[in-house]
Amino acid sequence: MHFVTLTQSSSLTTVHTYLSGNDGTLPVALGRAVEVPACADLSYLSLCLSADCKDGIYFFGGNNVLARRATAGLSANHSFTFNNNVKTDPRSSIFQIQYFRTSVAHRDEVVTVKTPAFAESVTEGDVRWEKAVGDTVSEDEVVCEIETDKTSVQVPSPAAGVIEELLVPDGGKVEGGTPLFKLRKGAGAPKAAESLKTETPAAAAPPPPSAATPPPSPPLPSAGGPIPTTMPPVPPVPAHAIDTKPVSAMKPTAAPAASVGQAEGAAKAARTESRVKMNRMRLRIAQRLKEAQNTCAMLTTFNEVDMSNISEMRKTYKDVFLKKHNIKLGFMSAFVKAAAYALAEQPAVNAVIDDTTKEIVYRDYVDISVAVATPKGLVVPVIRNVEEMNFADIEKAINLLGEKARKNELAVEDMDGGTFTISNGGVFGSMFGTPIINPPQSAILGMHGIFDRPVALGGKVEIRPMMYVALTYDHRLIDGREAVTFLRKIKSVVEDPRVMLLDM
């Protein structure tokens, strides 16, 4: 344990620093005493032994350094800080003895970074390293990603330093709390400075300017002997006569054909294939889709939606909508709100079968999952309580979840739950398709591209922007009548939103 004594006279305050062992040994003085003006404010005292502080004891009065005294017998791996209001005794010139403990220096400290805790529905993940041993990292820089069944969890560096050791191989499985890597704090900055110092002189030192260009040095004789003074012998002329036909009269030989054949053969031989291990998210997607096929009695019903009215509404109000809500008005909000309206009328589509208890679970809320394609796979973040939202709220929620998905910042909580799914393949130009149910849900709506098609209206043929929609449902729970009625309700609401406003 370290402690100091402060002795005050009329003009000076003398500081004595001592080190006392925990085993009851006598205190040992650390260096010479330090004298500072008696009027100095010693409310903050620091024993600083790092390289930045120029090893010694510092006394601070306010924000100014009042004195420094080099210490002896202290290890440079420790720093001591004393922060307290010094109280005087009017009957004595000796201040109170203040005790303080040492703290281990953070410079060059090696810490072990562990796997962060996962959500309740996730038990393990696969590690994908972004850094290697010896790499310098800054604070909060991503060192690795842990791919789980639903999303990727980034593991940042807790401080600036150098990667000392990787404790898990690339692709290895980890659970919450598993040690991942060792980091040496603060080790990167000195190394970078040293490398900069060593590289700067070499790069900055220009070649010495010469007053005059030196004359070219004479050629040195070869190691084999003196330079030859005669020309080498000319090779003999062949005995047969040389053909002097013009180039145009010469017949092509088979050599070019052979070379072309060799090139083609080399091109065919260059065809290769590579194998890439499926990541955990792709494996989970494959497992869940196959599970849906094996469990659900899937059936798909179709319809088409005339997008004329909703397109006209969007065209009319998109600028005002953007100005007021600071977000663009799209078609997705219309379909999400129409689905929530239709689900309220057809609760079976919003329900699910509990295969464990053999019960049907009906929900009085609507949480709609929106399928989003990312480079790592398909994710389905959830918009919750859609029945209470308007178009602006839905657009903001979709935009927020889409941004998080593209930046790989979706949490497991963002994708948990969901009572119904909407997949919009129209953004990729899809014209028609049959979506697969997202278990444990019971139905999914597939949107497709908008294309101008001839439509018979009132005995006349008109060109209208049309969209095919598909509803895939679990026939174990949802009958055909309920499925068709549900899809027709979505069609009527999108074609004329006044139906929803009038509750028709």
d(CA 500, CA 494): 9
Name the nearest CA neighbour of 163 among 201, 119, 132, 139. 132
> How far lies 387's CA from each of 18, 59, 161, 347, 409, in Å?
71, 65, 50, 13, 26
Residue 124 CA to residue 146 CA, distance in Å, equals 9
Catalytic residue among 306, 475, 496, 503, which?
A: 475
CA–CA gap between residue 488 and residue 502 (Å, rounded)? 17
Location of structure tokens 């040496």: 184
Core vs surface per residue 258-288: b (16+ CB within 10 A) or e: eeeeeeeeeeeeeeeeeeeeebbbeebbeeb
**Residue 475 among the catalytic residues:** yes
Q: DSSP E strands: which ranges in 264-370?
A: 298-306, 352-354, 359-361, 368-370
- The rounded radius of gyration (Å) of the Cα atoms in the chain is 40
Q: Which strand (E) or helix (H) includes residue 184?
A: strand 179-185
The answer to whether the CB of 409 falls within 8 A of the CB of 145 is no
Is the peptide bond preceding residue 232 cis, with omega within 30 degrees of 0?
no
Among 108, 354, 452, 479, which one carries the catalytic annotation? Answer: 479
Could you tell me if 391 and 329 are in contact, meaning their C-beta atoms sit under 8 angstroms apart?
yes
Residues contacting residue 444 through CB under 8 Å, at least 6 positions apart: 420, 421, 422, 423, 435, 436, 437, 438, 471, 472, 473
Which candidate, 161, 153, 204, places its Cα nearest to that of 181?
Answer: 161
Residue whose structure tokens are 């939202």:
389
Q: How far apart are the first and last CA of the chain?
A: 81
**240 annotated active-site:** no
Sorted by sequence, the CB contacts under 8 Å of residue 215 that are 6+ apart come out as: none
Tokens of 130: 């972004």
CB 143 within 8 A of CB 181: yes
Q: What is the DSSP letter of 329?
A: -
Helices and strands (H and E) in the chain: how many? 8, 28
d(CA 102, CA 276): 52
Q: Which residues are the active-site residues?
A: 475, 479
